[in-house]
Amino acid sequence: MAELRWRDVSVEYRAGRPGTARARRGEPEASGVLAVDGVSLRVPAGATVGLAGESGCGKTTLALSALRLLPRSARVRGEILLDGENVRDLSFGRLRAVRWTSASVVFQGAASSLNPVRSVGWQIAEALRLHPGADWIGRRGRRARVEKLLGSVGLSPARAGAFPHELSGGQRQRVLIAMALACDPQIVIADEPTSALDADVAARIQDTLGALVRERGLSLLLISHDLPMLARACERLVVMQAGRIVEEGPSADVLEHARHPYTRRLAAASLAVGDRSVRRPRSRPPTGTGGRLEASGVTVDLAGRGVRTRAVAEASLAIERGEIVALVGPSGAGKTTLARAMLGLQGVTSGKVLFDGRPLPRGAALRAFRRRVQFVPQSPDAALSPRQTVWDAVAEGLRIHRVPGDERTLVEDALRAAELEPTERLLGALPSELSGGQRQRVVIAGALALNPELLVADEPVSSLDATVRAEIVALLAHLRDARGLGALVITHDRGLAWALADRIAVMRGGRIVGVGGVEDVLLGG
């Protein structure tokens, strides 16, 4: 049995060179950043270790260093021992032989981890071709093995011929697990294998991975930002912050008796259903009138590729003034389509959308409605133009609606309402100079600048780290209590719904299958 061990490892990224992935995405290249700082970590043979931390803490760098997969700009110090051999000293030929046979990686099932123009069967078979084994001889042997691997992760063997884009996120993740197990490695490193997936799908994939690891007696290093999930899946927990290990120990200990404040913050940031300490229900009844948005028997058929699909079927839902309603359900349930219909962005096939009791206006009057009901999209990266300053981004709505008053004052008020300070420093900043949480606050500030009565937020925190997520939840709850600002929050995250919402609507297969108080829906059923 093999063990994986880092001994006093540091990884530093040299100042950026043009052409690296970061530079091409337009992000500033960090200069001489110490991503991993003197880390010693042991994954004993047959053990399961969870590595927790938020984005940028160096956990992925550490994982990739195990197979020497870091980009050339990375400078590694220390010893990385894989089965007793220092990976840093291996010849390239020996390294290639070790890769995937001693240790393999379950990459994140995001589309980019698989080659888009090769079938998934081909990509799994490639590993088999590179590392011939007694169990998979020849083309036929490889094909049989691929089918067996797909079966072991719960996919039909017929899916071998599918291309990545033909699979769902969960299926792609299963393919990546099958691929990692192809050459019978002793150690599996899983880097955020489920963080891009729906809660239900993620749970099933964790079960699959856990069962395979137990069955085969593999060592597992599971990397995630989700501390409770890691605690369930692993015997030991290691918490990383800013390139250093700040806490480690048996899972239950770390979770319940966290010594380091960061661990406590990470643990508290996870919004567990049933945990009353994270719940923020409405503190007082709303003041004022207006702002009630209602969908009444809305059906939406979407046409695409010559096929009409019924995305939303006779959905009825009302958001009262000053109320936060969470619309939950798995992806593909029609949540976003219903929200778009309620915003007047999507025509309805039948049914009505009413705002303050009147049908949504058409033409010029729709603009006035848009001012009163603002939209907060899922990813701030997609919502903000990389070339626009914070001022311009927030002022855009003000300009479109020709809001009277001093623009600078209005923008600064909006930024303060979104708890973004100091405003003088932020006004001229570009999105690339802000953190993910700050970016989402800028988007929210842009909505608040128009003083709306209702927000419609589509997965407002799913692209953010757990601790940042908790802050945004607090902000939305505060806006509701202080301003009577209602919200329709679309999410697949039941924890978020539990923490934030006053009422909850569950959607499945285009229909609303349940509406009620949060505690009734999430705890009762």
Partner 1 sequence: MSVRRAASRVVGTLVSLGMVAVLGFFLFRVLPGDPVLTLTRGRPVTPGEVARLRHEFGLDRPLVTQFVDYAASLLRGDLGRSYFYDQPVARLIAERVGPTLLLTGAALVLSVSLGVWLGQWAGWRRGSAFDRAATAAAVVGWSVPAFWLGLLLLMAFGGPLPTGGMVTPGSDASGAALAWDVARHLVLPALTLAAVQFAQYTLTMRASVLGELGEGYLTTARAKGLPEDGVRARHVLPNALLPTVTLVFLMLGQVIGGAIAVESVFSWPGLGYLAYQALSAPDLPLLQGTFLVFSATAVVSNALADVVYRLIDPRLRGT
What residue ranges bind partner 1 (CB under 8 A)?
A: 17-22, 24-25, 64, 67, 69, 92, 96-101, 104-105, 107-108, 110, 112-119, 123, 126-127, 130-131, 163, 165, 176, 179, 305-306
Q: What is the closest distance, in whole angstroms, from the C-beta atom of residue 22 to partner 1 in the complex? A: 8
Q: What is the closest distance, in whole angstroms, from the C-beta atom of residue 6 to partner 1 in the complex? A: 17
Q: What is the closest distance, in whole angstroms, from the C-beta atom of residue 350 to partner 1 in the complex? A: 26
Joined tokens for residue 308: 């009409």
Q: What per-residue string of b and e applies to 477-492 under the rule 16 or more CB within 10 Å gives b?
A: bebbbebbbbbbbbbb
Q: Decide whether 153 or 227 has the Cβ nearer to partner 1.
A: 153
Say if residues 241 and 53 touch (Cβ distance below 8 Å). Answer: yes
Counts for the chain of helices (H) and strands (E), in that order:
20, 20
Q: What is the closest distance, in whole angstroms, from the C-beta atom of residue 67 to partner 1 in the complex? A: 6
Q: 485 in helix, strand or coil?
A: coil
Say if residues 505 and 515 touch (Cβ distance below 8 Å). Answer: yes
Q: Decide whether 8 or 166 has the Cβ nearer to partner 1.
A: 166
Q: Decide whether 17 or 387 has the Cβ nearer to partner 1.
A: 17
Say if residues 362 and 230 touch (Cβ distance below 8 Å). Answer: no
Q: Decide whether 64 or 222 has the Cβ nearer to partner 1.
A: 64
Q: Decide whether 117 or 364 has the Cβ nearer to partner 1.
A: 117
Q: Decide whether 67 or 342 has the Cβ nearer to partner 1.
A: 67
Say if residues 508 and 328 touch (Cβ distance below 8 Å). Answer: no
Q: What is the closest distance, in whole angstroms, from the C-beta atom of residue 72 to partner 1 in the complex? A: 11
Say if residues 174 and 206 touch (Cβ distance below 8 Å). Answer: no
Residue 127: how many CB atoms within 10 A of its CB? 24
3 state SS for 12-48? EECCCCCCCHHHHCCCCCCCCEEEEEEEEEEECCCCE
Q: Decide whether 127 or 434 has the Cβ nearer to partner 1.
A: 127
Q: What is the closest distance, in whole angstroms, from the C-beta atom of residue 104 to partner 1 in the complex? A: 7
Q: Is 481 left (phi over 0), alpha (psi -120 to 50) or beta?
A: alpha
Q: What is the closest distance, in whole angstroms, from the C-beta atom of residue 185 to partner 1 in the complex? A: 11
